[in-house]
Chain A
Amino acid sequence: MAEFETPEQVLEAAERARDEGYRRMDAYSPFPVEGLAEAVGFYGTRLSTIVICGGFLGCFTGFFLCWWPNVIGYPLNIGGKPYNSWPAFIPITFELTILFSALSTIIGMIALNGFPMPYHPVFNAPRFDLASRDRFFLCIEARDPKFSVTGTRDFLLGLDPIEVSEVDS
């Protein structure tokens, strides 16, 4: 695990590690660094798919909720007006679409991130508490096929970090 001072350094380090053939790594930063996720091998997220499914589900739920009682469950004939007066059902359909989408956004994000996870080995790294303040970390995991204690350490030391440390998993 290597500690860096600027976002540019950690981005360059991640790209160099990738060129070197490392695949199982992760980078930690106090704010989103453009390109860093791609550099550590994280391409896209399924979150958008989850949210659009949630949105469609909300849309159908909202319309069904208005339609079923008015047409099937408890139809009331008021001056011969149509039971399925769909324009009047739009506001609730719309609100539930938004509600379900928003709920699937946060639940999806929490689930995909594996939260809640109060403990993680990287928290044991020295000064890792600075990852939420002003430092940038690159972690090459021991399960990477190319990983070796000395080789990886030498490689990381060559990237001009502040410190390189080993973290027990």
Chain B
Amino acid sequence: MDPADVNITTAVVETEEVIAPGHTYTSVSDRVSDMVLTWPIGIRWAAGLALALGLLLALNLALAVVFTIGVGVWGINIPVGWGFAITNFVWWIGIGHAGTLISAFLLLMRQQWRTSINRFAEAMTIFAVACAGLFPLAHMGRPWLFYWLLPYPDTMGTWPQFRSPLVWDVFAVSTYLTVSVIFWYTGLLPDLATLRDRAKNRIAKVIYGMTSLGWRGSASHWSRYEVASLLLAGLSTPLVVSVHTVVSFDFTIAILPGWHSTIFPPYFVAGAIYSGFAMVLTLAIPLRKYYHLEDFVTMKHLDFMGKVMLATGLVVAYSYVMEAFMAFYSGNSYDRYMMLNRMTGPYATTFWTLIACNLVIPQVLWMGKFRQSPPLLFAVSLVVQTGMWLERFVIIITSLHRDFLPSSCGMFYPTRWDYMTFLGTLGLFFTLFYLFIRVLPMIAIHELRDLVHKKSHEAKAAAH
């Protein structure tokens, strides 16, 4: 049986609120926990997981080849030494940023619409960072020596170069992953307790019981929980900005034309949020359809996410224009050539596709009709993600392939292993995501109860 065939007692009504009217503490708790505890495993879920596992196998194969033969199986060489690996790294890290932003920044801003989307957006963050982390490791060539990046008193008496952005990256990304996991788990604690109390299966009960650590919902637990989640939100917000800033330092600290630019940190952060919200939409739209979550992930959520995408997209557009303007205005012939080469050189097709994907097409989001239509929004979100991937590709490849000297000009042609590693990480991401939606509540249940409570208060206040 498919989840789509499960009888939903209430009719699906599209609503303009952040949660459909008529929900009670009981109904939201049961609805979200039942998806994990009692809904049968659907054929579509199984098929999706099988596809994702297939891609994961491709990743294993690609990495096995890269590790045994070497990174030469990728299309990288001098001058283009970074290729797909770093493109994918930056793309995945960027995707992760929206999850943290939704859970942390919108919590600080007291935005109620974050409630239904923060849990799976945070899961998305963790899985995306896991995918991102693979690429620098694989790109090292000798990944078994990765621990040389860590500061430890080795017998040679040497240390990592703490003035290098590549070392900052190690600290930023590992901190980001750790803090994201901590934030996610803190939010999960009360929900794991709900699952423990509602599970009928003995094994499930024990597992949820152990992972919920004995949460009782006592007033003191909640008091500490609220302090902890506010603190974590306050810590994550600057963290998320710093992570993509440090990622952009990987480029800006170099002297290469096309990289050496002070606009990069804010431009990268905006781009990260842009692609991240696109990924949240890519996940949210099928989830709400196949799991009938229209009550919780409402049109209002989709509308807001579309608006955030539009706003960050405009920041990105401004950055592109400024980047081109500064290249010409600076009077620096290398910068000027870099820009002309991007627009008319051998990679001009990718450049103009990127402009179409990131600048032109997303402008349809100005129209409310587009933001209110899940299929169109889904299509735009895929376009934006493609565009953001191309953006990183263009920044890395076109800047590297022709720099100062004609003797260091070259071309980059991706090989099948490049594509396989990239598609493989999509497999890793979706495998983790498919498993997540079956074993953990994909919406924060206790926050939904809180939302129901607040909404009932608002309704009472309005009635008076």
Contact = CB atoms under 8 A, between A and B. Distances in A.
B168 A32 contact: no
A109 interface: yes
Interface of A: 7, 14, 26-33, 36-37, 39-40, 42, 45, 47-48, 51, 65-66, 69-70, 73-74, 85, 88-89, 91-92, 94-96, 98-99, 101-103, 105-106, 108-110, 112-120, 122-123, 129-134
Contacts of A31: 25, 190, 222, 446-447, 449-450, 453
B168 A92 contact: yes
A108 B229 CA distance: 12
Given A70-B162, A116-B210, A133-B25, A95 B242 contact: yes
A109 B167 CA distance: 31
Given A37-B223, A117-B213, 6 more contacts: A96-B171, A102-B178, A109-B227, A109-B228, A119-B214, A132-B217
Contact of B223 (A42, A106, A119): A42
B239 A98 contact: yes
B232 interface: yes
B219 A42 contact: yes
Contacts of B221: 113
A30 B219 contact: no
Interface of B: 24-26, 29-30, 151, 157-159, 162-163, 165, 167-168, 171-172, 175, 178-179, 182-183, 185-186, 190, 193-194, 196-198, 209-210, 213-228, 231-232, 235-236, 238-239, 242, 246, 249, 446-447, 449-450, 453
Nearest to A130: B197
Contacts of A112: 224
Contacts of A95: 168, 171-172, 175, 239, 242, 246
B214 A116 contact: yes
Chain A interface main SS type: helix
Contacts of A123: 216
B235 A115 contact: no
A126 to B, nearest CB: 13
B178 A99 contact: yes
A14 B218 CA distance: 13
B26 A98 contact: no
Please indicate which of the listed interface residues A27, A103, A106, A130 has the most CB atoms of chain B within 10 Å of its own CB: A106
B88 to A, nearest CB: 22
Given A103-B182, A105-B235, A131-B217, A30 B209 contact: no
Contacts of B220: 26, 37, 40, 42, 45, 113
Given A36-B219, A116-B213, A48 B231 contact: yes
Contacts of A99: 175, 178-179
Given A31-B450, A92-B167, A131-B216, A48 B162 contact: no
B302 to A, nearest CB: 25
Nearest to A73: B159
B29 A134 contact: yes
Contacts of B167: 92
B204 to A, nearest CB: 14
A48 to B, nearest CB: 6
A51 B231 contact: yes
